[in-house]
Amino acid sequence: MDLVRYDPFEIMDRIADTFDSLRDIDRWFDFPEFRFLDTFGLYEGEWSPALDMYEDDDAYFVKVDVPGVDPKDIEISATSDVLTIKGVRRIEEGKDKGKKKGKKYEREEIFYGEFHRTVPLPVPIDPDHVDAKIKDGVLYITLPKKEELKPKKINVKVS
Amino acid sequence: MAENKEIAKRTATEPAKTEERERFIRPRTTVFELDNAVKILMDLPGVSKDNLDISYNRGELTIIGRREKWDREKMRPVYIERFDGGFKRVFAIDDTLDAQKIEAKLNNGVLEIVIPKVEARQPKKIEIKTA
């Protein structure tokens, strides 16, 4: 008998597959405009981009996954203790171009529309020196911590 | 429609190659049919061309790659939501599609793959000649 290692994350794949088969329910009804899941609004409205935040002694470093989002459509604002990221992912021009009329999507997992994230910052930052750039669909934000809150090295003098 | 059915590969059914078997995440993907091709859009933010491998073999289109991890030596995590490391998806391509003409481009974190249909299968308009 083969021993298969227990994989606690396999359940995630199973859930994903269940949702995929749930989408197949749409195919029971052969109306192009009728989508079972859309009636629950699961594929409409606001979505939330995945975000990582790391820190060192001087700053917070944030990465946000915003693939296919035009940098012009992103708005970032920061106060000393909250970072806000707003934007919209528009359906790429030509994405549907030539899409066969009356054909449903074979698979539709990508979210479009407005997104909005509010991130509380554990330690106050300097909102005047926040830096943001975008590369390969990832938004990189650097938020320097307030000078007086940075840990200071104290030299021990020998008396 | 069976034209682009994805093969769900269960990690548990694959033999463990190494003790530290890598987990792959499944990037979000949208697939739809055009008049003369099938288009696949995949969200791959932060993935550079060098870290992405697309291959076709025996009816399977495999998209595999990884993205760079944070430098945890220098930084401490506060929030972690993004995937780290490897991703993989496999699509079955049947003989109605021309696998020799697969085209892929990566733009702004979105991978776009176009697979043309086999020409002979496409409907052809036949002109009626007048004598």
- pLDDT tens digit string along A24-72? 554 444 444 444 444 444 444 478 899 999 999 899 999 999 999 999 9
Find the CB nearest B109 among A61, A68, A119: A68
Question: A–B: how many Cβ contacts below 8 A?
Answer: 136
Measured CA to CA, the distance from residue B50 to residue B39 in angstroms comes to 22
- pLDDT tens digit string along A145-156? 988 767 777 888
Q: Give the CB-side neighbour count of residue A3, counting CA atoms within 13 A.
A: 2
Contact state of B110 with A138 under an 8 Å Cβ cutoff: no
pTM above 0.80, yes or no: no
3-class secondary structure, A55: strand
CATH hierarchy code of domain A44-149: 2.60.40.790
What chain B holds in terms of domains, given with CATH numbers, is 22-120 (2.60.40.790)
Residue A79 has pLDDT above 70, yes or no: yes
- By the CB < 8 Å criterion, does B34 face chain A? yes
What residue ranges do the domains of chain A occupy?
Answer: 7-40, 44-149
Strand partners of residue B67: B85
